């Protein structure tokens, strides 16, 4: 087990399995969103929580935050996710109580399957929750990363809060944009974009692929099909395995590590909520994701290694250097 601490509990109100995984508090209190998602087995949710918590540790370390990584997973299935009320409220109160038990060693926030309204409900049970919408800031960070990579054409995979925001900004900037989502109804959101099926978009001839859906998109099988020259998006845990970063490298595709690209939400939330920064100052910090990514790509090129290894070296240095 890589995590410092894991708590698994059947929510006393909701009856749903709730998992909080704290990966590391070495740099400071852990933070990481609350995911409500269906899993075939609750153990799959546990595995996901651990991987996502580890990714948050890397995200915070590279972003220069004095925080560690954690994650909450509410296993909502199989079957329909908890409806608007009262089930959802019960699950969120269960989450709030559990987060409160960590006494500030872990703070949660929005993630896949949850949003600002849910954070308000969690806040009825704990102070240790980031309220407000982190999606625009995450999208700002993604745009900063995309500017570093350059390009005229983009394929956005997943039109959730962040993906849709990024697709909109790319279209507004006059780029050619392909979009897809597992939910066909999202098609109507972007009449100006070209809709491609979730599978076919992997073969799209575009400059940059933007993974903005669930993780695990990049596998040996999918990497073989890609015809983009770079990849950068907000989805967490895009690689099925770290070795897939080597396959991308061999194919000459620049992969911007997801934990570098997706740090806008946590950067903005910690700056405004914990350090009293103004929206302008917090956004400026988010924009720095571009500089961080550039430094990582330069280091990777200089050392003939992958951006993943370069990012890992950057993160590792934070754990050995005195704070
Ligand atoms: N979903 C965010 C992420 O993966 C988590 C988060 C957002 C945590 C905002 C705190 C505040 O980075």
Task: At 178, give phi and psi (nearest 5°).
Answer: -100, 140
| 72, pLDDT greater than 80 | yes
* H-type alpha helices, the chain: 42-63, 87-101, 116-122, 135-149, 161-172, 220-225, 244-250, 258-261, 264-269, 275, 279-287, 289-303, 307-320
For residue 222, being part of any structural domain is answered with yes
- Domain co-membership, 177 together with 249: yes
Domain end among 96, 122, 148: 122
* Span 234-250, pLDDT tens digits: 999 999 999 999 999 99
Confidence of residue 14 (pLDDT cuts 50, 70, 90): very high
For residue 22, being part of any structural domain is answered with yes
**Could you report how far apart the first and last alpha carbons of the chain are, in Å?**
26
- Domain co-membership, 223 together with 110: no
* Span 73-109, pLDDT tens digits: 999 976 556 665 558 999 999 999 999 999 999 999 9
For residue 277, being part of any structural domain is answered with no
Instruction: Tell me if 31 CB under 6 Å of ligand 1.
Output: yes
Active-site residue, 71 included: yes
pLDDT at 321: 65
- Domain co-membership, 195 together with 88: no
Question: What is the CA(122)–ligand 1 centre distance, in A?
Answer: 15
Question: What is the CA(98)–ligand 1 centre distance, in A?
Answer: 18
Nearby residues of 308 by Cβ (< 8 Å), 6 or more positions away: 239, 242, 245, 255, 257
pLDDT at 77: 72
Q: Which domain holds residue 114?
A: 5-54+69-122
Instruction: Tell me if 215 CB under 6 Å of ligand 1.
Output: no
Asked if 69 and 51 count as a contact pair (C-beta separation under 8 A), the reply is no
What is the DSSP-derived secondary structure letter of residue 157? E
For residues 303-320, average pLDDT: 95
For residue 321, being part of any structural domain is answered with no
Calpha distance 72→109 (Å, rounded): 9
pTM of the model: 0.94
């Amino acid at each position: 087990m890589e995590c410092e601490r894991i708590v698994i509990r059947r929510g006393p109100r909701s009856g749903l399995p709730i998992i909080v995984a704290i990966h590391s508090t070495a740099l400071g209190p852990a933070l990481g969103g609350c995911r409500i998602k269906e899993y075939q087995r609750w153990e799959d949710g546990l595995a996901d929580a651990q991987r996502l918590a580890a990714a948050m540790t890397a995200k915070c370390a590279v972003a220069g935050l004095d925080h560690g990584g954690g994650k909450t997973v509410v296993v909502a299935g199989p079957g329909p996710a908890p409806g608007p009320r009262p089930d959802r409220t019960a699950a969120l109160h269960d989450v709030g109580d559990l987060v409160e038990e960590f006494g500030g060693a872990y703070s949660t926030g929005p993630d896949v399957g949850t949003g600002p309204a849910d954070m308000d409900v969690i806040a009825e049970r704990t102070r240790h929750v980031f309220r407000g919408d982190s999606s625009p800031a995450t999208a700002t960070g993604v745009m900063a990363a995309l500017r570093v990579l350059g390009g005229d054409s983009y394929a956005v995979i997943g039109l959730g809060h962040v993906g849709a925001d990024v697709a909109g900004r790319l279209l507004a900037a006059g780029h050619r944009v392909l979009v897809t989502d597992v939910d066909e109804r999202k098609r109507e959101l972007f009449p100006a974009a070209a809709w491609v099926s979730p599978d076919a978009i992997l073969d799209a001839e575009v400059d940059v692929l933007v993974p903005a859906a669930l993780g695990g998109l990049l596998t040996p099988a999918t990497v073989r099909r890609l015809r983009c020259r770079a990849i950068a998006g907000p989805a967490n845990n895009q690689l099925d395995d770290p070795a897939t970063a080597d396959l991308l490298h061999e194919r000459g595709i620049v992969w911007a590590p997801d934990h570098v690209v997706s740090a806008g939400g946590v950067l903005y939330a910690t700056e405004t909520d914990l350090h009293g920064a103004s929206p302008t100052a917090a956004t400026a910090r988010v924009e720095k994701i571009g500089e961080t990514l550039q430094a990582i790509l330069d280091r990777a090129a200089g050392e003939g290694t992958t951006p993943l290894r370069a990012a890992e070296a950057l993160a590792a240095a934070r754990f050995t250097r005195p704070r």
